[in-house]
Amino acid sequence: MSFIMVDIEADGPIPGDYSMVCFGAVVVEPSLSQTFYGRLAPISQRWIPKALAVSGFSREQALAFDPPQTVMESFEAWLKQVSSGRPMFVSDNNGFDWQFINYYFHHFLERNPFGHSSTNLGSLYKGVVKDFSKNFKHLRRTTHTHHPVEDALGNAEAMLSLHSELGLKIGLK
């Protein structure tokens, strides 16, 4: 199994009514050298300006992004190339990120290579340190910028720290 750290940016709170603007993914392994970045044209006429602003893109820029079908096909091909076995989706906020990735995979490809499961990095950290009030974000080395590849890299660094510094046993590809 390969752990794939994912981060997304969207122009609203839910898929379908709103659109995923861009997303990034990184294979959680020591080199952190295998990354994916996709920018997707909107699937809805609705967007919330404050939500879209987080991504750093304007609506006009987003309208020129790649067709979502093409991006999701490319992401699936990348996952097949970099993963051993079924990839495991991991995210800082999997309640948000997962809903968009899952929706887009099923809507455009009628399947999700991640299956039906995801893992929340924050919950994983709380379990490892046995304290529900603790936060993992101090383990990031890459600054959290809301560029999804950079954010996924920072979260992957934190997960690798859970492995190397706190003894979390994870199979690394």
Residue 172 belongs to some domain of the structure? no
171 assigned to some structural domain: no
The whole-angstrom separation of Cα 5 and Cα 50 is 25
* Token duo for residue 75: 């992401």
Give the Cα separation of 82 and 85 in Å (integer). Answer: 10
Percent above pLDDT 70 for the chain: 99
Q: What is the CATH number of the domain that holds 117?
A: 3.30.420.10
User: What local confidence, expressed as pLDDT, does residue 168 receive?
Assistant: 84
pLDDT at 170: 83
Res 172: pLDDT: 64
Where in the sequence is the domain holding 149, given as residue range(s)?
A: 2-164
Q: What is the pLDDT of residues 48-86, one digit of tens each?
A: 999 999 999 999 999 999 999 999 999 999 999 999 889
Would you say residue 114 lies in a domain? yes
Euclidean distance between the first and the last CA atom of the chain, given in angstroms as a whole number: 8
Total domains present in the chain: 1
> What is residue 126's predicted lDDT score, i.e. its pLDDT?
95
How much is the pTM? 0.96
- Of 17, 37, 35, the residue nearest 26 (C-alpha): 35
Which among 150, 132, 133, 129 has a CA at the least distance from the CA of 141? Answer: 150
- Indicate whether 158 belongs to any domain: yes
Q: Does some domain include residue 173?
A: no
Q: Is residue 22 part of a domain?
A: yes
pLDDT for 166 equals 85
pLDDT of residue 32: 97
Instruction: Identify the pLDDT of residue 99.
Output: 97
4 CB-contact burial (10 Å; exposed 0-12 / middle 13-18 / buried 19+): buried
Q: Is residue 71, in this structure, part of any structural domain at all?
A: yes
Residue ranges in the chain modelled with pLDDT below 70 = 172-173
Q: Residue 9 in contact with residue 92, Cβ under 8 Å?
A: no
Contact 154, 141 (CB under 8 A): yes
Q: Measuring CA to CA, which residue among 124, 167, 164 is closest to residue 5? A: 124
Asked if residue 95 belongs to a domain, the reply is yes
Diameter over CA atoms, the chain: 47
